[in-house]
Structure 1
Amino acid sequence: MPISYRLDPHPDDAELRALWQAAWSDAHPASFAPVLARSLVHAGAYDGAALIGYVNVASDGGIHAFLLDTTVHPDYRRQGIATELVALVTSAARARGAGWLHVDYEPHLAGFYRACGFRHTEAGLIAL
């Protein structure tokens, strides 16, 4: 069965928790509902009924949107799933009024985000 992609699927906490744990092996939000409530758009990748990829775009309520939590289950990586998810939410964010899509990433992910169309910019960060 081919991978399917869905805009705004609103996966439940159990689905997201399972994916998050498999992909990140660290603490996850107690509930993803507050995150999804602030989402301009999010997308899921599914193998049948199983959530195997996820990405979220938050918005400032204006023209700035922020790509967050690009996640693919380790068993499904290197198949273009993350690239497809980013393309899907990029198009939807544009259609929903975003003028800029920002992303923060670690240096080893620079090639991936460049291939998705992002260009490098200078940015500031304060660890809270």
Structure 2
Amino acid sequence: MEIRVRFPVDDTELSTLHALAFGSAVEVQPWAARLERHALTWVGAFSNDQLIGFVGVCWDGGAHAIILDTAVHPSHGRQGIGKQLVLAAAQEATLAGCEWLHVDFEPQLADFYLTACGFSPTDAGLLKLRD
């Protein structure tokens, strides 16, 4: 397995990985354009040049960065790939001068983010803007 930072993104490949990881239908999204426009960085895990894991990092241009879209192909789960991706993303955010790395997650992912990746629990709020 190889970790690559800011790799050339194939929209179909990343959309497929995302759908498999989240159990949804594949809808090709304009990942490459979105990442180039909004992301501080992104990190991929590759096996034989196939994308098997991904994490994106957005930021405010200053001290705060945010982990988004952490995804690992289901056939490669529970092998530490997600942790490697998040830690590589954290390193990239540190190199960019960020002081804080935020992440929102569902309750079933608390052990992964809090224990495996070292995040601290915080209070946060969420406002749904659309149905």
Using the size of structure 2 for normalisation, the TM-score is 0.91
CA RMSD, 1 decimal? 1.3
Unaligned 5+ segments in structure 1 are none
Does the 8 A contact of 1:40 with 1:57 survive in 2? yes
Report if aligned partners of 2:16, 2:28 keep a CA contact under 8 Å in 1: no
**Displacement of 1:18:** 1.6
> Shift of residue 35 of structure 1?
2.5
Partner in structure 2 of residue 31 of structure 1: 30
Q: Is the 8 A contact 1:10 1:36 kept in 2?
A: no
Q: Compute the displacement of 1:29 (Å).
A: 5.9
Q: Is the 8 A contact 2:12 2:28 kept in 1?
A: no
**AA at the equivalent of 1:119:** S
Secondary structure in structure 2 of the residue aligned to 1:101: strand
Structure 2: runs of 5 or more not aligned: none
Instruction: State the number of aligned residues.
Output: 126
Structure 1 runs of 4+ aligned residues shifted over 6 Å read none
How far residue 26 of structure 1 moved from its aligned partner, in angstroms, is 2.4
Partner of 2:124: 123
Partner residue in 2 for 1:103 = 103
For the structure 1 residues 64 and 29, does the alpha-carbon distance in structure 2 shift closer, same or farther, using more than 3 Å as the test? farther
**Whole-Å Cα distance in 1 between the matches of residues 68 and 53 of structure 2?**
13
1:12 corresponds to: 10
Deviation larger for 46-55 or 3-12: 3-12
2:17, 2:4 → 1: CA distance?
16
Question: Matched residues, percent identical?
Answer: 45
